[in-house]
Amino acid sequence: MAQLPNKKSLVLIAIIVFIILLIGLVLWDFSVSRPGDILTPTAPPLDDTLPAVSVAKELDIPWALDFLPDGSIIFTERAGRIRLIDEKEGLLPDPLLTIDEVAHRGEGGLLGIVLHPDFVQNSFVYVYYTYQNGAVLANRVVRFRKHDNNLSDKEIIIDNIPGASIHNGGRIKFGPDGHLYITTGDANNPDLAQDENSLAGKILRLKDDGTIPADNPFPDSPVYSFGHRNPQGLVWDGQGVLWATEHGPRANDELNLIEPGKNYGWPIVQGDEEAPGFVSPVIHSGTETWAPSGAAYLDGSLFFAGLRGQSLYEVVIDDQPVSLRRHLNRDFGRLRDVVVGPDNFLYILTSNRDGRGMPGEDDDRIIRIDPGKFR
């Protein structure tokens, strides 16, 4: 007769089964869509079957870009470099500037960049970055002046924006009113988003020199809207209406129509939840995760880049209700920013080297897309 396992053997077998089940659960958990997940598929090389061409490749985590008047592209790399793709010479090997004080920690680092609307006259370039402020991380917006292929004359526009290894916001844009708009994250402290005296979890509005516009919704405050978790996209539509994309917690990513002084709910409400005094998103991702970042407007549609979603999303705001379309699904991996170029093409930054993707041979890249091929 076969001998039955003794008590010690049964305990050992139970422990082994438990470990196997635990490993399986962890692997399943990483497969669930959410911002911050890793293990995304490798982005394929560009080919003629896709409506895209490569503008630059082998970049180091590019985060934002803007166009100079001559069509050259200025962009940030998160480790602290500001670089230039010259209209005639292509990508310059040396950066225009390396900002040594940039703290590249987690999602922090050198993030947004924008040119002054009167750049031709004043040569001003604005950037948003994370730095070490004593024992904590913080963010600031700084202005430089461009001289040939150098940036100098540093001037701080706004400082001491709460920072962390996650949720730093970082998008900066000039609005149709000529003022500077800045997205800030909650710095991994959700309560700060509801604190009107904190710069965290907000959209800020300033004059180009850092002073506060007299018509801001809160007296003597740069705060324009609040209750945001981690907004990373800003764009004005054809009617001059401001929209923002926002990362939600494990889904419930949002596209919001931004109005001055309004409260967008984080961390009290999200998704379809409603409560008096809070503004609901125009659309949200529900149980899916877009991880939306940079946004652009073209011909009746808002486009925004998806990180975890690995897609370029199009929201047709001319439709009632608005409709959502998905393009380039997993064709290029994680997408960080999208900007409309002077040629009315879309310029997209990939973010496959940010520690949450699996980069392809040419990553990271700036890709030029003909939006007409999506129609």
Which residues does the annotation mark as catalytic?
167
Type of residue numbered 13: I
Contacts of 353 (CB under 8 A, 6+ apart): 59, 60, 61, 359, 363, 364
Q: How many residues does the chain have?
A: 375
Task: Mention every residue, 6+ apart, whose C-beta is less than 8 A from residue 352.
Answer: 40, 43, 333, 334, 358, 359, 360, 363, 364
C-alpha–C-alpha distance, residues 272 and 1, integer Å: 64
Element (H, E) at 141: strand 136-147
Q: What is the 3-state secondary structure (H, E, C) of 175-210?
A: CCCCCEEEECCCCCCHHHHHCCCCCCCEEEEECCCC
Nearest residue to 44 via CA among 354, 328, 332, 305? 332
User: Under a CB-based contact definition with an 8 Å cutoff, are residues 330 and 307 in contact?
Assistant: no
Angle among Cα 37, 38, 40 to the nearest 5 degrees reads 115
Residue whose structure tokens are 């109005």: 259
| DSSP reduced 3-state for 80 | coil
Q: How far is CA 121 from the centre of its chain?
A: 29
**Sign of the C-alpha dihedral computed for residues 131, 134, 135 and 136 taken in this order:** negative
Contact 316, 46 (CB under 8 A): no
- Largest separation between any pair of C-alpha atoms in the chain: 96
CA atoms within 13 A on the CB side of 42: 5
Phi and psi torsions of 22, nearest 5°? -65, -45
Q: Please state whether 107 falls in left (phi above 0), alpha (psi between -120 and 50) or beta.
A: alpha
